[in-house]
Amino acid sequence: APDIPVANVKAHLSQFQSIAAANGGNRAHGRPGYRASLDYVKGKLDAAGFTTSIQQFTSSGATGYNLIADWPGGDTNQVIMAGAHLDSVGSGAGINDNGSGSAAVLETALAVAREGYRPGKHLRFAWWGAEELGLVGSRYYVNNLSATDRSKIDAYLNFDMIGSPNPGYFVYDDDPAIEKVFKDWFAAKGVPTEIETEGDGRSDHASFKNVGIPVGGLFTGAGRTKTTAQAQKWGGTAGRAFDPCYHSSCDTTSNINDTALDRNSDALAHGVWTLGSGTTTPPP
């Protein structure tokens, strides 16, 4: 997989920050900042040659939107998905939660286009609405998949908070094969990882897991406190939350650890390239 330039990822975060500032200070479901964020992401993908679609739904009396982007080609009976929720809470710009995941997924998709990558499997990228209201957008997407379309999704990779300022390196433990892809990548970089245990049912992979689709993902931590042992292996500050600005107005572009964002962006690309390349059945 190509290196993902962290400067490019941070440029998307700056855009999300500006969008929030221009739209009442947030990017929350039902607020103009959310749709403006979606339009930004969609514009980049359309320009890069993706086939994009907007899926509309209603939640709490407001219209919500999912953005789905398909990279033309690959075996459409074997789909690899990578996604992130694009909405913030109402209290702020939501740059770590979850601009970080949204920006890294976007930059990985743009890298696919830049490289002219032709994977054996079909790649689909997604940005979810209304995650903060209770995983609403991703659940709507999964619930509206036909059984046939559901059976074609080989994996869903979730990225929700991957740039926390006092980061841990957590790998979802839901599917062993997917977990191994990420764990091995970090091990090769000399970065120890822990399995992510607090998140089951707490982010957008839940709806995919509930219908039997293999899921995986990465996480750098939210409101929980980093232990002394964790600080010894990862650096940062023991006794301090992984993200002290979780769901707060201080979740801005200054609330990002660049090393964590870079490593997780590169790991994300590695996961997409690795899982996208293999085909379990030979092409016709």
Residues at the contact surface with Zn ion, assessed by CB under 5 A: 97-98, 160, 172, 174, 200
| Cα distances (angstroms) measured from residue 218 to each of 39, 70, 185, 267 | 25, 22, 12, 9
Give the range of 109-117, 197-205, 232-240, 269-277 binding ligand DTR by CB under 6 A: 197-205
Containing H/E element for 155? strand 153-159
Q: Which two tokens stand for residue 183?
A: 């764990």
The contacts of residue 48 (CB under 8 Å, 6+ apart) are 109, 110, 113, 114
Shortest distance (Å) from residue 265 CB to Ca ion? 6
Q: Are 66 and 141 in contact (CB under 8 A)?
A: yes
Q: Which of residues 203-262 bind Ca ion (CB under 5 A)?
A: 262
Q: Which of residues 108-137 bind ligand DTR (CB under 6 A)?
A: 131-132
Shortest distance (Å) from residue 18 CB to Zn ion? 20
* CB closer to Zn ion out of 75 and 173: 173
* Cβ-based neighbour number of residue 137 at 10 Å: 28
Shortest distance (Å) from residue 251 CB to Zn ion? 9
Q: Are 222 and 164 in contact (CB under 8 A)?
A: yes
* CB closer to ligand DTR out of 78 and 265: 265
Shortest distance (Å) from residue 40 CB to ligand DTR? 20
Give the range of 69-77, 103-111, 195-203, 265-273 binding ligand DTR by CB under 6 A: 195-203
DSSP codes of every residue in 168-235: --EEE-SSHHHHHHHHHHHHHTT---EEE-S-TTSSTHHHHHHTT--EEEEE---SSBPPHHHHHHH-
Give the range of 3-11, 48-56, 69-77, 194-202 binding ligand DTR by CB under 6 A: 194-202
**Active-site hit among 131, 132, 179, 196:** 131
Q: Among positive and negative, which fits the CA dihedral 41, 42, 43, 48?
A: positive
Shortest distance (Å) from residue 11 CB to ligand DTR? 23
Which strands make up the sheet holding 194-196, listed edge to edge?
51-59, 62-71, 121-128, 75-85, 153-159, 215-219, 170-172, 194-196
Q: Which two tokens stand for residue 12?
A: 């998307």
Give the one residue of 161, 171, 178, 272 binding ligand DTR; rule: CB under 6 A.
161
Q: Does residue 107 touch Ca ion according to CB under 5 A?
A: no
Shortest distance (Å) from residue 30 CB to Zn ion? 15
Give the range of 4-12, 111-119, 140-148, 203-211 binding Ca ion by CB under 5 A: 4-12
Task: Identify whether 196 is a catalytic site residue.
Answer: no
* CB closer to ligand DTR out of 65 and 242: 242
Q: Which two tokens stand for residue 273?
A: 């390239």
d(CA 261, CA 274): 20
Q: Which two tokens stand for residue 278?
A: 């293999």
Give the one residue of 162, 255, 266, 275 binding Ca ion; rule: CB under 5 A.
266
Q: What residues act catalytically?
A: 131
The binding site for Ca ion (CB under 5 A) comprises 3-4, 262, 266
The binding site for ligand DTR (CB under 6 A) comprises 97-98, 131-132, 160-161, 196, 198-199, 202-203, 219, 222
